[in-house]
Structure 1
Amino acid sequence: MAWTTPPRLDPDRSRRRLQLLAELAGARAVQQRERPQRARSERLRQLIATRRRVAG
């Protein structure tokens, strides 16, 4: 059985792929940093809504 190596990607395609992966990683990091703030905001909204129901 002969082993064949996969054809190499052209340099431009490889560079674009690496750039895309880096951008995705950056976007994922930003999203994970914002998640706790979003969760905190959601809990605060729920608390306010609950207090309004109880007080109303």
Structure 2
Amino acid sequence: MAWTTPRLDPERSRRRLQILAELAGARAVRQRDKPQREHTERLRQLIATRRRVAG
């Protein structure tokens, strides 16, 4: 028994591929920026801790 999928119209297929490509691009940007965000968050926590201790 072969699996068959209903054929999508070309416009719908094109839009679907475009959306998937945009999602993949957004995911790549988030992964690339993640280390910087983590570093920034660690610095903020360190600064807040030092302010509490010094204050």
Unmatched tracts of structure 1, length 5 or more: none
In structure 2, what is the Cα distance between the partners aligned to 1:12 and 1:40?
43
Residue of structure 2 equivalent to 1:34 = 33
Moved over 2 A (4+): 2-6
Choose 1 or 2 for highest CA Rg: 1
Q: CA deviation at 1:5?
A: 2.4
TM-score, structure 2 normalization: 0.87
How many residues matched?
55
Percent identity for Structure 1 against Structure 2:
78
1:1-40 CA deviation, whole Å, 9 max, x = no partner?
x656222111110011000000000000001111111111
Unmatched tracts of structure 2, length 5 or more: none
